[in-house]
Amino acid sequence: MTVFDSLQSVCDNPNIPWKTIILGFSVGQFLFETYVSYRQYKALSSNKLPAVLENEIDQETFEKSEAYSKAKIRFSIVSDIYALAQKIAFVKFDLFPRLWHLGSKVSTILPLKYRAVSTIAQSLWFLLVLSNISTIAELPFSYYSHFVLEERFGFNKTTIKIWITDMIKSTLLGVAIGGPVLYGFLKIFDFFETNFLWYICLFLLSVQILAMTLIPVYIMPLFNTFTPLEDGELKDSIEKLAKKVNFPLDKIFVIDGSKRSSHSNAYFTGLPFTNKRIVLFDTLVNSNSVDEITAVLAHEIGHWQKNHVLNMVVFSQVHTFAIFSLFTSVYRNLSFYETFGFVVQATEATIPEVAIPTKVFTAGFPIIIGFMLFNDLLTPLECSMQFAMSLLSRIQEYQADAYAKGLGYTQNLCRALIDLQIKNLSTMNVDPLYSAYHYSHPTLAERLNALGYVSEKKKA
């Protein structure tokens, strides 16, 4: 008997208090993350800059950065309380089966071929209802984030029109793209039943590759304008760097990020072993020198040189395989679904025509809901995985910095990082536990120390 068979035999116990376990894990995660945020809030009360930044950051910028970071932490804690309250309500009051039935009722307004006449169709309608309710429920927080918090610190450039348009586009794309992907996902469970594992992993890998290929080219331009970088010193500098290190550069674009925010960034897109597109935010191009921007791109090219994208794809697939291997232990467990208000029947049954009942009879297993609830069971594992993912990401950032340093860009990269830190009001003092859990990048002080940066002002 394998480990997964043993786990399945344990999970088949009808007396397992699934609701209590999920609520316990959810509350535990909230308490842990609140504690981590509290530690960071205390760290932000420090009046002293890290030594390497003392000659780089003025007191006014430092205090504004601390205030911005504190405001974001307070906002995140309130958001977490709201999310926890939603989760408790869904579990406590059996809202999943209620929305499951509501999705079926909504579908009756359409022609028969679009109605929830199968478990897969009902799953699609359930997610459509759930996603729209979630979008509406999150509107106050989204509005506050953009038009209060970010506005207060001078970052928001988004208008109400752009904000609403983005939500509409995202919703339509979710239906147009998410619908077929979810259909394929559920069809694998329906067709293969007990031996779905390798097929689902292959399917999700294909989706990931398609997303990496198509999103930068066809989806992102729906939200931003991508303009080819004009001929000139910056383009020449980037192309010279790409040629020097044999980076497969295809095109260089400038994106109008300033229409939403004054934050800056730069990145490249493209699958491993294919040509790459470099994307520069206009806020970066307009405020940094050619040498600094080139240094930032040397860092990004370092990720390519070290195969970081490929490594993360492999890591992601291993993670996916582990999750779905564990999912086999509960995905057809009758007591698991019945605990949350479902009654699964072996033969097709008619959903009672009553006003959103507590118990919803379904002809098949509501796999999508089972997977959502199963993710809550994985909370302790996923918290540990977040530490591992953050650590791996930070190691890769150090390696990319070291690569840029090896090309002779140390000083310009450091100057660019400091400038980005100032413009973005990024956090100066970071609690170690908070950083280990939340940060995919080392702190600025850690990166400067690793690069061996010595302030020009200190030399003087």
Residue 299 marked in a binding site: yes
Reply yes or no on whether the pLDDT at 351 is more than 60.
Answer: no
Given the residues 56, 66, 376, 401, select the one marked as catalytic. 401
pTM over 0.95: no
DSSP string covering 173-204:
HIIIIIHHHHHHHHHHHHHHTTS-HHHHHHHH
Query: What is the identity of the amino acid at 282?
Result: D
Confidence at residue 184, expressed as pLDDT on a 0 to 100 scale: 94
Cα–Cα distance for residue pair 102/357, rounded to 1 Å: 9
What letters, b where the CB count within 10 A reaches 16 and e where it falls short, cover 215-243? ebeeeeeebbeeeebeeeebeebbeebbe
Give yes or no for residue 348 having a pLDDT over 70: no
| Confidence (pLDDT) at 358 | 45
- Whole-number Å distance between alpha carbons of 79 and 144: 11
Marked catalytic residue, from 94, 300, 419, 431: 300
32-50 pLDDT, tens digit per residue, is 999 999 999 999 988 889 8
Rounded Cα distance between 275 and 188, Å, is: 33
Q: Catalytic residue at 56?
A: no
Angle, helix 95-107 to helix 367-377, in steps of 10 degrees: 150
Distances (CA, A) of 427 to 199, 333, 390: 43, 46, 17
Burial 428-439 (b: 16+ CB within 10 A, else e): bbbbeebbebbb
User: Of 44-53, 262-271, 324-333, 433-442, which one has max mean pLDDT?
Assistant: 433-442
**Nearest alpha-carbon partner for 423 in 257, 292, 295, 284:** 284
Angstrom distance (rounded) from CA 377 to CA 369 = 13
- pLDDT tens digits for range 139-179: 999 999 999 999 999 999 999 999 999 999 999 999 999 99
What is the rounded distance in angstroms from the CA atom of residue 428 to the CA atom of residue 53? 8
Mean pLDDT of all residues belonging to the chain:
87
- Tell me whether residue 282 is one of the annotated catalytic residues: no
- Which helix (H) or strand (E) segment holds residue 277: the answer is strand 276-281
